[in-house]
């Protein structure tokens, strides 16, 4: 076996130099034949564009044309000629034209091929398709309102406001069959994650009656993009406050309970606007309880009372709220406190005042009746009534004669002092009490006070 392999090896490399030289000579001989004989060869080019000539013959008559099935592009063009010629060509040297003047009754036009280089020296030039096929029909122009919309979701806590295009109409021109398919025009802006106003350009899109997008390839639009402004506003929640007017029927009272459903609303607006808003207020006069002897219920459109430059931010809320004002029949409660619990307040400088005891037949306690909602009456305590007399108000009612009678002589004898004390100004004064908001007292209560002048020394001690 080893001897056999050795023999094969010897045959392969025997006279190796002669064998290599023969191979090189054959290659050189082939090259010489090729160079001097310049045989005919072919080359192929792909996707050669066909230029249409004299298209005005169609458009000047009010028609438009559409190239069918992409026949204005030749998939493969084959060029034959001497190898030295065809090897020097590229796709830019291939000229393909179709003259509309030669259009047939079937709306086909023959494609003519040539080269702008070595044109007369080529053997042949041919394409994989030989005709351009056209659809010729009436030209139609239509105008459509441009509708704007958005896609995506803005950030939480923000409200998508108005979407405003810079122009609101688009003009479309093209084949009647295509233009007739268009039912609307729109522009869509992506607002994903937005936390502020957006100003951008959006492509104009065309849609048919089913909402499917229409291909714009064979259509001419007066504008292909439109500038769109999108308002994105922050949202805050505000309580609803209701101001009630009128007085219920005799024997009835508004308990103070005003129920609103809902009791708060979400508003959107510029941050500078929302910062100045505290609540949404239903003004006085909208809800009137005059003469009411039962609960007053009213439906109100709160959009009429929103703060300026704000809008409702909840798409599921139509703005209608229900306000209920609770009307209750008056209840009564007797309350009693001692006369010595009456406080004298706001005593003017230079004056003194003190309570005078009860006259004969009077008790040392004072009783009165308070009317109001039962819930509020139950909370009243004698201490909470805070009975008091404002001495400043009493002094303001004194006449000059009253004041003269209070002037104390510079040097007074014991008898004079006794006479002065006996002549001190004593008068009955109405006592005021602090009542809950929806309660009232029946009648008035009075107490007697004694007013007198005080000396400077006494002033210093007080």
Sorted by sequence, the CB contacts under 8 Å of residue 145 that are 6+ apart come out as 168, 169, 184, 185
The average pLDDT across 195-211 equals 95
Would you list the domain boundaries of the chain? 2-37, 40-129, 138-234, 238-329, 332-461
- 400-421 burial, b if ≥16 CB within 10 A, otherwise e? eeeeeebeeeeeeeeeeeeebe
pLDDT tens, position by position, 205-220: 999 999 999 999 889 9
Sign of CA dihedral 13, 16, 19, 23: positive
Q: Which CATH superfamily is domain 138-234 in?
A: YbbR-like domain (2.170.120.40)
Percent of the chain past pLDDT 70, that is, above it, reads 86
Tokens for 236, please give them.
């805050």
423, 453 Cβ separation under 8 angstroms: no
Token pair, residue 281, equals 């207020």
Looking at the DSSP bridge assignments, the partners of residue 112 are 97
3-state helix, strand and coil shares in percent for the chain, rounded to the nearest 5: 20, 45, 30
Mean pLDDT score, 66-91: 93
Distance (Å, whole) CA 228 – CA 218: 25
Write down the residue that tokens 């001190």 correspond to: 424
Q: Could you tell me which CATH number the domain at 40-129 has?
A: 2.170.120
- Kindly calculate the radius of gyration of the chain based on its CA atoms and give it in whole angstroms: 53
| C-alpha span between 36 and 333 (Å, rounded) | 134
Answer left, alpha or beta for residue 304, where phi above 0 means left and psi between -120 and 50 means alpha: alpha
Reported confidence tier of residue 366, pLDDT bands at 50, 70, 90? confident
pLDDT value for 446: 84
What's residue 409's pLDDT?
Answer: 47
pLDDT digits (tens, 9 = 90+) for 225-276: 999 999 999 999 999 999 999 989 988 888 777 888 999 999 999 999 999 9
Domain 332-461 has CATH 3.40.1160.10: no
The mean-pLDDT minimum among 140-154, 263-277, 383-397 falls in 383-397
pLDDT of residue 32: 59
pLDDT of residue 37: 61
The fourth-level CATH superfamily of domain 238-329 is YbbR-like domain (2.170.120.40)
d(CA 331, CA 329): 6
What is residue 304's predicted lDDT score, i.e. its pLDDT?
A: 93
Give per-residue pLDDT as tens, 19-75: 676 677 666 666 655 555 678 889 999 999 999 999 999 999 999 999 999 999 999
How far is residue 164 from each of residues 74, 188, 201, 231, measured CA to CA in Å?
A: 45, 11, 11, 8
Distance CA 36, CA 384 (A): 129
CA dist 462 and 440 (Å) reads 36
Of 95, 92, 93, 103, nearest in space to 67 by CA: 103
The C-alpha atoms of residue 424 and residue 373 are separated, in whole angstroms, by 43
Confidence band (pLDDT; 50, 70, 90) for 330? confident
Q: Which run of H or of E encompasses 12?
A: helix 2-13
432-460 tens-digit pLDDT: 888 888 788 888 888 888 888 886 544 44
Provide the whole-model pTM. 0.59
My answer on whether omega of the bond before 262 falls inside 30° of 0, hence cis, is yes
Among 81, 78, 74, which residue's Cα sits nearest to residue 118?
Answer: 81
The whole-chain average pLDDT of the chain stands at 86
pLDDT mean over 160-173: 94
Gap between the Cα atoms of 67 and 55, Å rounded: 12
């Amino acid at each position: 076996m080893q001897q056999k392999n050795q023999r094969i090896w010897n045959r392969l490399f025997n006279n190796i130099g002669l064998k290599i030289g023969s191979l090189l000579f054959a290659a050189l001989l082939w090259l010489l034949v090729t160079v001097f004989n310049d045989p005919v060869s072919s080359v192929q080019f792909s996707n050669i564009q066909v230029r249409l000539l004299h298209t005005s013959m169609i458009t000047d008559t009010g028609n438009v044309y559409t190239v069918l099935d992409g026949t204005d592009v030749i998939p493969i063009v084959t060029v034959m000629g001497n190898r030295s010629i065809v090897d020097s060509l590229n796709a830019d040297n291939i000229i393909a034209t179709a003259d509309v003047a030669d259009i047939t009754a079937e709306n086909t036009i023959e494609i003519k091929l040539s080269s702008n280089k070595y044109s007369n020296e080529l053997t042949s030039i041919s394409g994989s398709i030989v005709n351009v096929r056209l659809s010729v029909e009436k030209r139609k122009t239509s105008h459509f309102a441009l509708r704007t919309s958005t896609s995506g979701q803005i950030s939480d806590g923000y409200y998508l406001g108005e979407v405003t295009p810079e122009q609101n109409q688009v003009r479309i021109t093209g084949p009647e069959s295509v233009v007739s398919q268009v039912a609307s025009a729109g522009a869509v802006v992506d607002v994903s994650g937005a936390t502020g106003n957006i100003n951008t350009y959006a492509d104009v899109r065309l849609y048919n009656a089913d909402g499917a997008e229409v291909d714009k390839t064979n259509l001419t639009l007066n504008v292909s993009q439109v500038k769109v402004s999108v308002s994105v506003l922050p949202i805050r929640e505000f309580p609803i406050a209701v101001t009630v007017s009128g007085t219920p029927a005799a024997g009835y009272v508004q308990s103070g309970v005003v129920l609103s459903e809902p009791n708060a609303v979400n508003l959107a607006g510029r941050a500078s606007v929302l910062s100045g808003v505290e609540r949404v207020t239903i003004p006085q006069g909208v809800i009137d309880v005059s003469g009411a002897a039962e609960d007053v219920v009213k439906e109100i459109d709160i959009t009429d009372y929103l703060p300026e430059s704000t809008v409702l931010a909840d798409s599921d809320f139509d703005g209608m709220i229900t306000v209920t004002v609770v009307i209750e029949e008056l209840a009564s409660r007797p309350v009693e406190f001692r006369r010595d619990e009456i406080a004298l307040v706001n005593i003017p400088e230079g004056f003194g005042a003190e309570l005078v005891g009860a006259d004969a037949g009077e008790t040392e306690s004072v009783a009165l009746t308070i009317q109001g909602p039962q819930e509020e009456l139950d909370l009243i305590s004698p201490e909470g009534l805070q009975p008091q007399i404002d001495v400043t108000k009493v002094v303001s009612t004194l006449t000059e004669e009253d004041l003269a009678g209070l002037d104390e002589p510079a040097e007074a004898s014991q008898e004079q002092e006794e006479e002065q004390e006996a002549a001190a100004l004593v008068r009955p004064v109405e006592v005021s009490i602090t009542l809950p908001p929806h309660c009232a007292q029946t009648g008035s209560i009075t107490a007697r006070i004694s007013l007198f002048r005080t000396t400077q020394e006494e002033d210093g001690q007080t």
